[in-house]
Structure 1
């Protein structure tokens, strides 16, 4: 009698496990099915196998297709998702370039020599090219027919580069007395919003919002939105993204992936990600902002090579998440956008 009871308990336990695993697999299938309708994940990498360049990642098939031999450092999509912009830092070209991802056409925007001339005219120190892969220009983005970017590794100056009657022009858009991790500019009808993720202290990050006058780009003051703790100082990619309507920020605050609603001054935790000797390296909204992509980087022993990345997608409405890929040791990533 006891044996029959034990068998029933074991059968029920395994039945529960099967139902749970089936439910989890179904949720993963739904995420893959719906997320694959979004524009592809784009990343730049130098793989341990020797292959390097910029790649288009298919969420449904987990396959990466090379779309350029150039590594687009710290790349980002245009608003219409038809182009990407990035820093090219190679012997053959140093500067900012874009790639038409419909036809994979490479177009240089401005080289380092021209940028240095513009920098000198507004009192900024010039940048010298020393080696491939280690750039001194960061996070270029499309903006008002021109381009913005951090100037130099300190990331305390955001520049705006554009051409006036074919003549190159550069202005300082935002300047602080401290370094920053990342920034986002959202254009509006009457004003543009600049979000800056900065580091006032080594173990803290502050996300600020600064109003920018659309006509003369003067800063009109800033508003502190939230402060979250940072695990360490080594990650310079930032761990936040801003929705297109500028009402929501997705970010990581140990141990949660959270979304902060600016208008309501409230946050929700959509899932947890416990880290052990790891960092959140990238975090991005999907185009429709239903899904959040993030990458966890395993910190290498004595920094013998770069982070070993693991890709995830989480559904912001249900909190369900799925692991996409775990890349190999020695694979180095230089930028991701979705």
Structure 2
């Protein structure tokens, strides 16, 4: 009897060892490929008081500070040579860039200029109250300027640039309801705006010839995908669009899917079961082979921000690796890859 129990125990231990070794091998294989790509970048304020913008090393799990400024809702340029974000601190409020080679800070348009432009086109001004709490969201590079949500309702997307060092701003899109996220992509010599609202993802064509004339509403919108979400972070959304506009990655509890925009089919990637958590910051990798996402533990009575756990999943195989689980009290302001 004892021999049988011992054999069973050894067999179970063997299976556990094989599973662990396989998991280590999968992690090693995924990381080996990922480290060839541009870094994950994020802005945060850690519970120890350290604040700024960081470059995350997937292999070592360490975050290297690249700016003392926290670039909120940051996003890469198409060539990954710089990022744009909202800086909302006593020293500067407005849009700024960070060069990813030398990590130099470059202010672009400050809040005073943006408010002047907003007043000219009939938008409410935004006031600065304190560091960290911004009313400008999701800035992105677009043509020779930038796009962003104006105010917290996320129902107005503006386009701003500088002409002869003078700020010019127009309403790129306006809806009757708020949105969670947006993406602007180019296809067939056209620019298409993708928006994620509470229960659906839809698209809107942009007329390049009349970008400054606020007539985009005439094109109408196309509903792409209806989802049955419950709740998630209103500051990040949970979908991303591939550069060729053929695929859409999104989370619908409890699974991560890839939705084919041509065939209208969705493909299962992996599962992520949640318990008092949200999925936030879904991003395609630069080569679009992987999906990065973060799971946030919702704080008790919302006394602080999400406690995030980083994951990367291989789209082709469904293999998933867990990266870091950050500390309670760490506040993240934006992530991009």
- Whether TM exceeds 0.5 here: the answer is yes
Partner of 2:336: 337
Partner of 1:263: 262
Deviations along 1:27-73, one digit per CA (max 9) or x if unpaired, are 11111111111111000000011111000001111110000000100
C-alpha distance in 2 between matches for 1:271 and 1:49: 34
C-alpha distance in 1 between matches for 2:257 and 2:26: 20
1:140-289 matched pairs, under 5 angstroms: 140-199=139-198, 205-217=199-211, 218-219=215-216, 220-232=219-231, 234-289=233-288
Deviations along 1:302-330, one digit per CA (max 9) or x if unpaired, are 11111101011111111011111000110
Partner of 1:110: 109
Instruction: Provide the secondary structure at the position in 2 that maps to 1:10.
Output: helix
Superposition CA RMSD, Å: 1.2
Partner of 1:8: 7
Instruction: Provide the secondary structure at the position in 2 that maps to 1:7.
Output: helix
C-alpha distance in 2 between matches for 1:235 and 1:125: 21
Structure 1 stretches lacking a partner, 5+ long: 200-204
Q: Note the C-alpha offset of 1:233.
A: 5.8
Partner of 1:22: 21
Partner of 2:121: 122
Asked if structure 2 preserves the Cα contact closer than 8 Å seen for 1:231 and 1:279, the reply is: no
Q: Note the C-alpha offset of 1:172.
A: 0.5
Asked if structure 2 preserves the Cα contact closer than 8 Å seen for 1:241 and 1:284, the reply is: yes
1:34-53 matched pairs, under 5 angstroms: 34-53=33-52
Deviations along 1:3-50, one digit per CA (max 9) or x if unpaired, are 444433332222222111111111111111111111110000000111
Asked if structure 2 preserves the Cα contact closer than 8 Å seen for 1:235 and 1:279, the reply is: no
The answer to whether residue 322 in structure 2 is matched with residue 323 in structure 1 is yes
Q: Note the C-alpha offset of 1:164.
A: 2.7
Asked if structure 1 preserves the Cα contact closer than 8 Å seen for 2:94 and 2:109, the reply is: yes
Instruction: Provide the secondary structure at the position in 2 that maps to 1:180.
Output: coil
Asked if structure 2 preserves the Cα contact closer than 8 Å seen for 1:190 and 1:214, the reply is: no
Q: Note the C-alpha offset of 1:189.
A: 4.8
Asked if structure 2 preserves the Cα contact closer than 8 Å seen for 1:182 and 1:197, the reply is: yes
The answer to whether residue 67 in structure 2 is matched with residue 68 in structure 1 is yes
Deviations along 1:113-171, one digit per CA (max 9) or x if unpaired, are 10011111111111111111110000000000100000000110000001233332111
Asked if structure 1 preserves the Cα contact closer than 8 Å seen for 2:233 and 2:280, the reply is: no
Moved over 4 A (4+): none
C-alpha distance in 1 between matches for 2:230 and 2:26: 30
Instruction: Provide the secondary structure at the position in 1 that maps to 2:30.
Output: helix
C-alpha distance in 2 between matches for 1:165 and 1:271: 50
Q: Note the C-alpha offset of 1:232.
A: 1.9
C-alpha distance in 2 between matches for 1:188 and 1:117: 34
TM-score by length of 2: 0.96
TM-score by length of 1: 0.95
Deviations along 1:215-257, one digit per CA (max 9) or x if unpaired, are 2134312110111122226533100111110111111000001
Change (3 A) 1:301 1:263: same
Instruction: Provide the secondary structure at the position in 1 that maps to 2:227.
Output: strand
